[in-house]
Structures are given as structure tokens and as C-alpha cells.
Amino acid sequence: MRTRFCWQAKLVILSKAMPCYKAACSKEGEQQHEAAVRISRQQAGIAIHVSSIIRMDNQSNTFCAQTSQLTQTDGASGLTLLQGKARDCANEVRLKGHEVDTVLGNPPPQLQLDKALLADAKWFNKRWLTAFNQGAAPKSPFSFFPGEGGEARRTITSWVDQVKSESPLDLTPDVAIDTGVFKYVLLVVTDTEEGRSKLIVRGDRQSGYHVDVFEKTVRELAPYKLHVAEPLGGGRIRHDDGSKTISIYGYSSAYGQAPHDLSAAIVRQWYPMYAPDKITVSYEGY
């Protein structure tokens, strides 16, 4: 039974980050899509039907072995990426459009697997992969990498190298949550020297109130000169690492209700080993 790694914007089994499909890899009279099918069969031992190959417009000479439509509406951006109660909460906590874009603005296509060929494939966020290599991200069942010298290994290494950074903001995990039931907050953390920021999710069982979670995060990040703004709402999280399920719900009496759909999107990126439909959202309860 085979398992293959799938990375944002390209599949390892097809990633050939060089313009060789047409120039060097394609045989005379062979189309680029046909070359991709042939190379994946020769190098990875995986048969892919030519009709399932699509070209990613934002990646030169990069192919993805699946077809689907993006989950978001074409051209949507900012708060328009959120709907219903999520957008109402975003407006109430004054969430900014560009902050939503950083999480939802460029979603990967949905994976559609032929189970006869692939046992599993997942999207992995590059920041998560970097943190995982540094021991700062949740453990994954994919605790191994392809062997040295292989095309898959080179692809993984090159992608990690692209996001290597000593910036305190980049080294700060996007998600740090406990197991069990606990209160959580959605935060914006900013590197004032670099002028960059990102959304993070924080929560733990030891903090009795949402303000405790907030103040704890401020203390933890203060030595790195990172500014943590007042929470963009909060709620509760029920996390069962045994069944690999996470439920995000409720509200914060101090900071209001967070747009849980956005929090869930961040958590899904940080827990790629959890099935996306096992990370659920509800705007009910406390």
C-alpha cells in the first residue's frame, strides 16, 4: 500500500521544479501532460491517467495529479471569503480583510484519490513542515521522509529551504493548543521591526479565563519583541488526540465570539494528519 506526500501547489510524485517537461523530458512529439504521466510512472511507479493532469496557472511547468474546483468563489478576497455567522463575528471583532486573505486567500484544490493507486495524500503547509522539522509542530504519522537522492526528497528539501527563517514571527507556531476541553483565543501577532503579522490560535486547560490565555501568550512572546494585539474573539475547543477530532465552538464574554471558521482553517493547516471534516465548527454553546 503506497502513501505519497502532497504539498501546496504541487504533488511530490509529479514535482519537477525545472522546465524540463518540454525541453528535456518530453520525447519527440510528446505533449507535456503525456511526459508528466510517463515520468511519474518511471520514477515513482505510479500510473496516472492523462485526463487527471491539470496545469497550475501560478506555477510554471508544475502539474497536479487531480482535478477539482477551488472551495472559494473565484475573485473573492478579504471578509468575503467568510460567510454567515463567521463574517458577522469577523465584523464584530474588527478582523481585517488582509488577515483573512493570509489564511483563506489561496486554498489548495481538493484532493480526489484513486484508492487503487494511492492509499493517502495530504496537503502540507510549508510553515508547518518547517516547524515539524524543528520539533515545534504536532507529531504526524508521516514521521519519515523519502530516501536521500530521490526526486521526492529533493523537492521536500527545496521547499523547506525556501521558508527557512530566523525571524521570531516565522518561528512562532501558528497553533498551540491543549487536549481536552479548554478556552481559546484568536490573536494577531506582529513583528514591529519587520512590519509583518499573522494570525495565531492559542488555548490550554490551565487558563481559567480567556484573558489568561491572552496574557500568557503576551508573556511568552515578549522576549522576542513580538506585539500581541487584543484577541479577535474567542471560544472553546474540544480536542481528542486519540480520535483525532477537534471541535471549535462557543464564545468569550471578554472578547466576543471569534470567527471559528477562520480559526478552524488555521488549525487544519497545523494538524494535517487530522481529516479536515474532523475539525468542526459550531457557533452555539459556551
For residue 175, what are the CA distances in angstroms to 52, 128, 171, 277?
A: 34, 10, 12, 18
**Which residue from 179, 167, 66 is spatially nearest to 112, judged by alpha carbons?**
66
Q: What is the sign of the dihedral through the CA atoms of 199, 158, 77 and 138?
A: negative
Q: What's the one-letter identity of residue 176?
A: A
Q: Is 127 within 8 Å of 137 (Cβ atoms)?
A: no
The structure's pTM equals 0.70
Query: Three-class SS of residue 7?
Result: strand
CA–CA separation, 42 vs 40, rounded Å? 6
Mean pLDDT by 10 residues, the chain (286 residues): 36 35 48 68 60 46 32 63 92 90 82 77 78 68 60 76 80 93 97 92 96 97 94 97 96 96 94 91 90
Q: In the prediction, which pLDDT does 149 show?
A: 72
Q: Edge-to-edge strands of the sheet including 10-11?
A: 10-11, 6-7, 123-124
Cell of 186: 484568536
For residue 36, what are the CA distances in angstroms to 16, 46, 202, 220?
A: 9, 11, 42, 47
Q: In the prediction, which pLDDT does 51 show?
A: 58
Q: Out of 210, 227, 239, 260, pick the active-site residue.
A: 210
**Buried b vs exposed e over 56-85: b needs ≥16 C-beta within 10 Å?**
eeeeebbbbbbeeeeeeeeebebbebbeeb
For residue 10, what are the CA distances in angstroms to 126, 156, 272?
A: 12, 11, 16
227 has catalytic annotation: no
